Chains A and B, each alone.
Chain A
């Protein structure tokens, strides 16, 4: 890759302490994000999928520096922004914004829509009140609401409309990157489709890049150019969407795809082979963290953690089955 990526994540780690306090030491650590690296190109929609507790939301928050990483680095257009001062970071946040999952708890119920949408503007720049109002009207109309809605409170809107307000707020400072954390998960399917279509239009109109976090594979597959699958704080597979859907490589990715109930009664799937629950991130299994649930597990999986390596062009997998000298003869490709 010759051009500088918009966002580069290098070996990012976040461990949360468990127990402990001001004077006592932590009893244990939750390894929420445990060594994650990837790039996002300008104009790209990058999908992060995984089940609850896999660390995808923590990763999103780390990228916006809403929480500090334990280790690793984050670069925006080549500039490491993990060590910026608060004031500089505030400036940096004009270039990246976040949309949250729950349209009910992410809008302040005591603020009018006008103030909600322009809050990022007030926080980062000196803009006159009249100008802010002008920006708010323009954004509101862009997300399918009307100028009269400016003086309403969040409770007067439906879930879908609130999510539109959240999106308008994120667009307010004209960011280049938007982290969308489960933006449509709380919405009904007919409304979900409206929001997804709108997000795709906005991406073109505002030259946005998205990091789209979701547990819903069909939504991520629809909207994203590349997809990364996370499990217990690590990326297991990263591939362009086409190659991800046609030839998923990691056994976990395959189980995940197979587990999605297909809306086709003619294709009733046989029950899934994946047993058990996701292990605790406090005490993850040694070696490959997926080995207790994997049906291909062999000796090496229990001892060594496989790295994320490129198995075919642009398709990365962290699995011993797919690595030359992985221990099971030639790489398993089908």
Chain B
């Protein structure tokens, strides 16, 4: 498959009073045309910062983005000037955010907000843009879309606002949609509607999607490949089946075991959940070895001394873990 986006060795640092925070520390992955890549991790692992730095949306200072390259269709986004970057934002790559109430402009009607990218990027007249905006709002299932062009975001429910955001993001038919926790603020029944809408639009427009989420259920239902992040690093990357069927990294395994699943109780009393002991290290902490070592049940001396690389395990599965070279260190009953 053809590569749409290639990220190599991306690091984002923030200068804080507590020291340099390494929010993203050497992240790299490829995104192929037409695929949904799930970027998964817990709060503070750097998944949102990774996404924001693709479009260079991190303000500097305090942030500093460094990468070997961020190639989008062969062009390095890091080399583009402001005008070229503006052409890409919202047209070639667009983004939807977690909280639609804060990401929509509260003082502009929704029709105007959906029409704006068309006027900016396509140079169409206001009338044409509004006409197309109405079609898109209807397409994302806003009821009576044409009559609602002059509604303001506060007049809509959370699910409807997220639909408006999605319409805004896709009006220019982008090649890549970055969806940052698009359903986290929504109820499950609404979440399921929105996920289905994203899938449908992806097929219709032939988009690729970078889906950022902490919810493993959402990833299992949506993604074709998954990258798991921990403390600013990708710790495992694999096809979605491999991640769930034979996770390699102890953190991936821990995450999968920690979540309660529906139907677990059927036929037996609840077992205990396997939480991962300890907490995520502060981003300012300098660690010579593996960042997960302190919480890892298999930890041995080398883990504390030398950081593991992202080792290839098999076709398409990679893990950042010394157990690749020392499989005998893996404890059987954890």
Contact = CB atoms under 8 A, between A and B. Distances in A.
Contacts of B223: 265
Interface stretch (A10-18, A28-36, A166-174, A219-227): A219-227
Contact of A260 (B217, B265, B266, B277): B217
Q: How large is the interface on B (under 10, 10 to 19, 20 to 34, 35 or more residues)?
A: 35 or more
Nearest to B215: A261
A263 B261 contact: yes
Given A261-B220, A265-B244, A189 B259 contact: yes
A217 B187 CA distance: 11
Contact of B275 (A193, A264, A271): A193
Contact of A262 (B196, B220, B241): B220
A192 B221 contact: no
Contacts of A221: 260, 262-265
Interface residues of A, number: 48
A194 B279 CA distance: 11
A272 B221 CA distance: 13
Given A262-B220, A265-B240, A191 B192 contact: no
B216 A268 contact: no
A264 B218 CA distance: 10
B262 A262 contact: yes
A191 B279 contact: yes
A266 B241 CA distance: 7
A161 B279 CA distance: 9
A140 B246 CA distance: 38
Contact of B191 (A200, A261, A262): A261
B275 A222 contact: no
Given A51-B187, A272-B192, A189 B262 contact: no
Contacts of B158: 52
Given A222-B265, A223-B270, A246-B266, A263 B192 contact: no
Nearest to B43: A188
Interface in A243-268: 245-246, 255-266, 268
Nearest to B188: A259
A193 B273 CA distance: 6
A193 B263 contact: no
B241 A189 contact: no
Nearest to B277: A194
A264 B220 contact: yes
B214 A188 contact: yes
B259 A263 contact: yes
A256 B42 contact: no
Interface stretch (B47-55, B97-105, B250-258, B311-319): B250-258
Interface of A: 51-52, 158-161, 188-197, 200, 215, 217-219, 221-223, 241-242, 245-246, 255-266, 268-269, 271-272, 274-275, 277-278
A-B pairs, 8 with minimum CB distance: A261-B217, A193-B275, A194-B275, A188-B42, A190-B276, A193-B273, A222-B260, A51-B187
14 contacts: A51-B190, A188-B214, A189-B42, A194-B276, A218-B259, A218-B261, A222-B260, A245-B262, A255-B189, A261-B220, A262-B221, A263-B220, A263-B261, A272-B193
